[in-house]
């Protein structure tokens, strides 16, 4: 329990650090909030004091004439309370949305450097939940947690002093009441419910992953009539999520009941103490009224803290998940202080050499003592069954993963052979074009999807790349041509058409080395032949590494390596 509390405080501390650039706005929000709450409290206190004065001086016409001024003060305080509250909320939400934007930028920057070796192991639905709802829930922390805590502390201190000025013992009791309602109860509740909050966010992410997978596989679900089994799994996950949610609701109910009970008990204690002091002639009737009403009307800020604990466990769980991602170390770090390479062939015609390379996924060895020479101006074919390590070798050439043993060298015009770990990552990728088995498509125009390979490409360059990939005629046959918007993940076009767009990207990128992973697996023989012809022409000035299990595809290769 102590560790959970410590962990929660550490998460809060790290999240608060993010507010540092907006400290001035945060302090302004705290000041406005504190003054606003004091206005709200003293509307009641001054009103009660006015009633007490009138009640004890009912026959005094001078006092009765001053009632109008009391009403004027109350109206002014009420208006000021509204304006101050608006200012506080504006400051807090301004900070929250600015910070959320900063966090999203940090998360996407982190995802960019967490190479595919790391990202492929993550549940995509869980990741989407983290990027969207988890970060969005942090708005509660930045807009409704940091400032309210500071405001509650300031208001509690000031009100304890004010009540203590009426009667010192009452001031001490008020301080104990504020600490109990705004500190002890919510902290105890947060510690008790922290694990349930983290479980809820984790289960919510897994639910999203399941729904995302089920949505993508809807065709197979209908075809193989597995709908009942999928629905059963969905219901089981929903019940598990519901159970955790009910556990959180139980904590919330208990916390609210205890908070309300504490407020009533401390209010009665203050009343009893002040009545006792009045009976001993230590205070006047006005002081009894003022102290009691001040106590009853000043719990607002600390009650807000008590309410925060109901959602704070989930907010901190979201914060932990986001911070864990930001703390995550990439399996392969990008190189920034290495060598910018200009690929050329060595005396043997090689632009790259793979020397005795071994690689394993966890305990499963995929490559062992593999050596390959990759020559300029030629197509190297890599043929073999699934799982033989063909695709893995391409990813090692791009340094998506770090090899276990051996070396990979590229040959530079100035520095000669350079080990891959000493080449600046951006420079290496600039020299390479990579076509994967599954082509990613954004919900955008075909032209912009092709231009992923070269964002600043002209329309003529895009068209030329499309022609090389044998997709130009298909595109021009569409109603909007290159401005045709494809559906989410390219759902409105076929797998073969997506694959050809992926190849067009590679042609457009224009790297010195093209790495093609099953580039024609979804194509018919005619389109395969056209694309292979284009590859043969491109290989005159470039280097092509072509992975395929098709023997027909290997026909275009200058040399072929068989993987077992």
Tell me, letter by letter, the H, E, C secondary structure of 378-442.
CEEEEECCCCCCHHHHHHHHCCCCCCCEEEEEEEECCCEEEEHHHECHHHHHHCEEEECCCCCCC
Residues 354 and 323 in one domain: no
d(CA 507, CA 535): 9
Q: Which residues make beta-bridge pairs with 412?
A: 343, 416
Residue 17 lies in a domain: yes
Residue 338 lies in a domain: no
Q: What is the Cα–Cα distance from 59 to 66, expressed in whole angstroms?
A: 13
State which of 312, 327, 342 marks the end of a domain.
Answer: 327
DSSP secondary structure string for all residues of 503-534:
HHHHHHH--SEEEEESTTTTS-HHHHHHHHHH
Q: Are 474 and 441 in contact (CB under 8 A)?
A: no
Last residue of a domain, one of 293, 327, 361: 327
Closest by alpha carbon to 275, among 265, 267, 283, 264? 283
- Domain-located, residue 193: yes
Indicate whether 336 belongs to any domain: no
Same domain, 365 and 323: no
Q: Are residues 375 and 316 located together in one domain of the fold? A: no
Contact 208, 202 (CB under 8 A): no
Among residues 296, 327, 358, the one where a domain terminates is 327
Contact 333, 110 (CB under 8 A): no
Asked whether residue 334 is domain-assigned, the answer is no
Q: Is there a single domain that holds both residue 371 and residue 289?
A: no
Same domain, 11 and 56: yes
Answer yes or no: are the C-beta atoms of 108 and 135 closer than 8 Å.
Answer: no
Question: Could you give the C-alpha distances from 563 to 384, 392, 435, 544, in angstroms and in order?
Answer: 5, 11, 20, 17
Q: What is the CATH number of the domain that holds 176?
A: 1.20.1560.10
Same domain? 196 vs 257? yes
Exposure of 158 in the CB half-sphere (CA atoms within 13 A): 16
Closest CA to 303 of 411, 167, 181: 181
Task: For residue 483, give the CATH number of its domain.
Answer: 3.40.50.300
313 & 402 share domain:
no
Which domain does 439 fall in, by range? 350-562
Say if 339 falls within a structural domain: no
Based on the domain organization, do 102 and 152 belong to the same domain?
yes
Give buried/exposed letters for 340-351 (b at 16+ CB in 10 A, else e): ebebebbeeebb
Return the H-helix or E-strand segment holding 234.
helix 227-279
Give yes or no: residues 536 and 463 share one domain: yes
The answer on 304 and 451 residing in a single domain is no
What CA–CA distance (Å, rounded) separates 77 from 71? 10
pLDDT, averaged per 10 consecutive residues of the chain (564 residues), comes to 56 83 89 93 84 65 64 86 91 87 86 70 66 80 82 93 93 93 82 74 78 78 82 88 83 85 93 93 89 91 75 76 84 87 86 92 85 90 85 90 91 87 90 83 88 90 89 89 82 80 87 85 75 77 85 85 83
pLDDT at 371: 92
What percent of the residues of the chain are helix, what percent strand, and what percent coil, each to the nearest 5?
65, 10, 20
- Shared domain for 309 and 381, answered yes or no, is no
Tell me: do 319 and 366 sit in the same domain.
Answer: no
Strand order in the sheet with 513-517: 432-435, 513-517, 543-548, 379-383, 559-562
Tokens read off for 398: 């791009």
Give the residue from 175, 178, 193 showing the smallest Cα distance to 254. Answer: 193
Inside any domain, residue 337: no
Residue 237 in any domain: the answer is yes
Q: Domain count of the chain? A: 2
């Amino acid at each position: 329990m102590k560790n959970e509390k410590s962990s929660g405080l550490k998460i809060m501390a790290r999240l608060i650090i993010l507010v540092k650039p907006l400290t001035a706005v945060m302090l302004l929000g705290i000041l406005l909030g504190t003054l606003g709450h004091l206005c709200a409290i003293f509307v009641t206190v001054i009103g009660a004091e006015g009633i007490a004065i009138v009640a004890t001086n009912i026959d005094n016409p001078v006092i009765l004439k001053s009632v109008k001024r009391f009403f004027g003060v109350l109206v002014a305080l009420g208006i000021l309370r509204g304006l101050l509250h608006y200012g506080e909320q504006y400051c807090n939400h301004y900070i929250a949305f600015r910070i959320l934007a900063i966090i999203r930028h940090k998360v996407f920057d982190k995802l960019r450097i967490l190479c595919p070796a790391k990202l492929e192991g993550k549940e995509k639905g869980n990741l989407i939940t983290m990027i969207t709802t988890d970060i969005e829930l942090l708005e509660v922390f930045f807009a409704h947690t940091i400032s309210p805590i500071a405001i509650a502390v300031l208001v509690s201190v000031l009100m304890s002093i004010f009540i203590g000025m009426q009667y010192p013992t009452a001031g001490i009791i008020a301080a104990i009441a504020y600490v109990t309602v705004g500190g002890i109860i919510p902290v105890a509740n947060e510690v008790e419910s922290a694990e349930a909050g983290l479980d809820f966010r984790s289960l919510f992410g897994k639910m999203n992953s399941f729904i995302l997978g089920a949505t993508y596989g809807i065709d197979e679900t209908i075809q193989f009539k597995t709908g009942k089994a999928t629905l059963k799994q969905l219901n089981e996950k929903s019940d598990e999520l519901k159970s955790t949610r009910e556990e959180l609701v139980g904590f919330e109910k208990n916390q609210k009941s205890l908070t309300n009970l504490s407020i009533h008990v401390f209010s009665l204690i203050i009343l009893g103490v002040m009545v006792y002091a009045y009976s001993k002639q230590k205070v006047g009737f006005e002081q009894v009224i003022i102290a009691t009403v001040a106590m009853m009307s000043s719990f607002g800020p600390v009650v807000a803290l008590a309410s925060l604990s109901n959602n704070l466990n989930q907010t901190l769980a979201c914060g932990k998940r986001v911070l864990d991602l930001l703390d995550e170390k990439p399996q392969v770090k990008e190189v920034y202080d290495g060598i910018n390479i200009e690929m050329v062939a060595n005396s043997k015609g090689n632009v790259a050499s793979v020397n005795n390379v071994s690689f394993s996924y966890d305990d499963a060895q995929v490559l062992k003592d593999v050596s390959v020479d990759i020559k300029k101006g030629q197509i190297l074919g890599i043929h073999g069954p699934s799982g033989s390590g063909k695709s893995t070798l391409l990813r090692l050439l791009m340094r998506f993963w770090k090899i276990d043993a051996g070396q990979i060298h590229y040959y530079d015009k100035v520095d000669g052979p350079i080990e891959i770990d000493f080449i600046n990552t951006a420079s290496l990728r600039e020299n390479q074009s990579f076509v994967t088995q599954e082509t990613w498509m954004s919900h955008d125009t075909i032209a912009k999807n092709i231009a992923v390979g070269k964002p600043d490409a002209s329309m003529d360059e895009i068209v030329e790349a499309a022609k090389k990939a044998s997709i130009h005629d298909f595109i021009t046959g569409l109603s909007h041509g290159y401005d045709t918007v494809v559906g989410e993940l390219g759902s409105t076009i076929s797998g073969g058409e997506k694959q050809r767009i992926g190849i067009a990207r590679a042609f457009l990128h224009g790297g010195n080395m093209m790495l093609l992973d099953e580039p024609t697996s979804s194509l018919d023989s005619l389109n395969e032949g056209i694309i292979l012809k284009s590859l043969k022409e491109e290989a005159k000035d470039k280097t092509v590494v072509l992975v395929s299990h098709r023997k027909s595809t290997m026909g275009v290769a200058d040399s072929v390596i068989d993987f077992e």
